[in-house]
Structure 1
Amino acid sequence: MIAIHENKVLYVQSLFKIEIENQREKALTKLKKINKNQFNTAEKNYLRSVIRLFEKNSSIKIIECVPNTIETLIVSIGSIPPNSRFYKNGKPKKTLKKFILDALNYKYLRGTFYPIYFKELGIKSCVYCNSQLSITAVKSNGTYSAKFDVDHYYSRDKYPFLSISLFNLYPACASCNRVKSNNKIEFELYTLDSKKTTKSKYNFKMSSYSKSKYLTTRDAQEINFSFSEPTYNDPIAKKFNDVFHIESIYETQKDLIEELIIKSQIYNKSYLKSLNENFNKLSLHPELFKRLLVGNYTQDKDIHKRPMSKIVMDIAKQLNLIREE
């Protein structure tokens, strides 16, 4: 629900230079082993183009390339040619797309590299709904393991060569990843515009009467809120609420707002002042005080660090538990 500056991403990538270079080398080795003779002319040309991207002397660092470069590659390389060849028994052959995806080894990286990379980047929760962690339990050989879930902003079905390009990866919970599918949304996770990295354009707001009604009835179901999102420039782009069902998800989390309303009653100005003074004696960062106060992060730039942070910080500001930055 908020963008991250490209320079921060590039810095984090610089911390993993060796790992990223190993990914490129392994991918290149596997790509070169693909037998070109089993494909038609269009597929052969496509494979050659992909191999060139992963060559060490390529002018483009395909794994680290920035969003503008990715958009250029989509035009120059294009989507993968259609494959309509079948075995005699009617079952489809292993397509070129599958060969490329296997060579780039995205599935393996989900459980090895991506968890530590995105942790360093400060992303733990779903960048779309912010209601869940970007972790999925995957069963393999009878045992479960945690895998990092990412959405490919540009589909790996159409552009398999971008399947491990880091700027094409948007950490998402399994639910949002599934419903996003190939839906067109206008959301920029990585940006060069600093303003987009400090203030989210997505907001939760409690209705004006909800607080008084809850204090009268003590029924959390009397609490109502709305979710607003920016006006999109792309007429084809779908709204977050329509694709990810944001309001429906958070309808089940009204107890979070209930707790904030109760805190707003308990923590009056004098009590907050006393708490703050005692907290300062510990010589801890003031932001940590606000986080302990509301039970989550309180600045937009930290939205990705913990699930439910966005709704908590928005309602906490509305209740004057914390100040608008």
Structure 2
Amino acid sequence: MIKIEKYDKKVEDVYFDAVKAVVDDAYRKKIVNRVKKYMGAAWRNLAEQESDEIFRKWILADYSEIKKAYLQLSKDEMHEETFKKNGKFKRLYQIYYEAYNKVRGKIIRMPGLADQKLNVYLVKNSKIKTCPYCNRNYITARGENVSGAQMDHFISRSEYPIFALCLYNLVPCCSVCNLTKLTKELEISPFDSTMDDNSFTFTPTGILPGEQPSVKIKAKNSQLEQNIKVLHLQEAYDFHSDDLKELVELKEMYPETQIDEICDLINGKRAAAGKANLASTDIRDMVFGKQVPYEEYGKKPLAKFRHDILKDLGVYTR
């Protein structure tokens, strides 16, 4: 899984305005009342604030706040039933549930920019280009109104419509991962700020002569193991044994000594031409590709996979 950073404030403002346009004042107040009553002390303590201000806080709540609210509901069966689609306030949450369909297709008009659907706008401003769940498929748009991504409700909107419009409950992902997940529960969201480059690793096996290369995904905790299991990520990456084999063969063809020899040869010719020397890392990048920093894994398919494998093979040092 690839981490997604928070949206810029401008993007949050655009999203909230779109939500306000489809959820009228009366229902906003009803939602706020339920949030204050059932979502824990942090929300009850906002009682003195204006209803619209609390509604904004709810819609734009960080993933960590959403998770706390969800766990708060899970502690009490009565409260949990209250917020489910078929619970006590069924009609209210049916409206809230359906509002999402109107929001995602809403046309955004901004000065100097072409009109575009809100879901397209969000993906463009998410700072990622590939699915954060699998890092295999691009999710970029094909035009202003044709989204390349689907929006997964991390906490199922069919089970808990109260979270249906929360911005950080919406994970832009590929159709394969969205269909695989459906309403199943994952433990860690791509918006989880605790995720880092060491949360899980791709490890090569069977790379000795005569063996069949394969990739194993190792998670550092049971929560990520659950994500990998639900999304069938191990099965997905089993298909990349050929990619692994190519990287192993490339490393065999270009060991460090070979890289240094090529570097010396090129620098000899560059010196004769009065040009600056190249570093061995420049040659390495030409052969294996530039090392993608952790913050940019989401911009290239298989970026995490390639990084971990090449690090294991000794090509990259970090």
TM-score (norm 2): 0.69
Equivalence map 1:1-325=2 (5 Å): 1-4=1-4, 8-9=5-6, 12-29=7-24, 32=26, 49=34, 55-58=51-54, 60-74=56-70, 75=72, 79-80=83-84, 82=86, 96-104=92-100, 105-108=102-105, 112-134=117-139, 145-193=146-194, 196-197=195-196, 199-207=197-205, 209-213=206-210, 222-232=212-222, 239-273=226-260, 274=262, 293-295=287-289, 298-323=292-317, 325=318
Deviation of 1:57 after TM superposition, in Å, equals 3.3
Structure with bigger RCO (C-alpha 8 Å, 6+ apart): 1
Q: What letter matches 2:118 in structure 1?
A: F
Q: Deviations over 1:41-80 (max 9, x none)?
A: xxx9669647999953327522321123324544478523
Deviations 1:197-252 (A, max 9, x none): 3x232222111x424226xxxxxxx222322122326xxx8623422222221222
Contact map agreement 1:185 1:239 (CA 8 A) in 2: yes
* Corresponding position of 2:113: none
Cα distance in 2 for residues equivalent to 1:101 and 1:135: 26
For the residue of structure 2 that corresponds to 1:210, the secondary structure is coil
Q: Distance in 1 between matches of 2:292 and 2:246?
A: 15
Q: Distance in 2 between matches of 1:299 and 1:257?
A: 20
Which amino acid is 2:187 matched to? Answer: E
CA distance in 2, matches of 1:251, 1:269: 28
Task: Provide the rounded CA distance (Å) in 1 between the counterparts of 2:151 and 2:284.
Answer: 30
**How far is the alpha carbon of 1:18 from its aligned partner?**
4.1
Cα gap change, 1:231 to 1:49, in 2 (>3 Å): closer
Contact 2:59 2:165 in 1 (8 A): yes
Aligned residues of 1:123 and 1:171 also touching (Cα < 8 A):
no
CA RMSD of aligned residues (A): 4.2
Paired AA for residue 82 in structure 1: N
The letter for the 1-side match of 2:63 is P
CA contact (8 A) 1:62 1:165 kept: yes
Aligned residue type for 2:19? R
- Of all paired residues, the percent bearing the same amino acid is 19
Cα distance between partner residues in 1 of 2:32 and 2:85: 10
Consecutive unaligned residues in structure 1, runs of 5 or more? 35-43, 85-93, 138-143, 215-221
Whether the 8 Å contact between 1:180 and 1:244 is mirrored in structure 2 is yes
The structure-2 alpha-carbon separation of the partners of 1:160 and 1:295, relative to structure 1 and needing over 3 Å to count, comes to farther
CA distance in structure 1 between the partners assigned to 2:32 and 2:204 by the alignment: 53
Rounded to whole Å, the distance in 1 between the matches of 2:233 and 2:290 is 19
C-alpha contact 1:27 1:54 (8 A) present in aligned 2: no
Taking the aligned partners of 2:238 and 2:139, their CA distance within structure 1 comes to 21
- Contact 1:184/1:238 (CA < 8 Å) preserved in 2? no
AA paired with 1:67? Answer: Y
Distance verdict in 2 for CA 1:248–1:113, change over 3 Å: same
The code of the aligned residue for 2:22 comes to A
Compared CA separation, residues 127 and 17, structure 1 to 2 (3 A): closer
Q: Is the 8 A contact 1:134 1:150 kept in 2?
A: no
| Contact 1:28-1:55 within 8 A present in 2 as well | no
Please list every run of 5 or more consecutive structure 2 residues that lacks an aligned counterpart in the other structure.
Answer: 37-46, 74-78, 108-115
Q: How many residues align?
A: 278
Which residue in the other structure is 1:39 paired with?
A: none
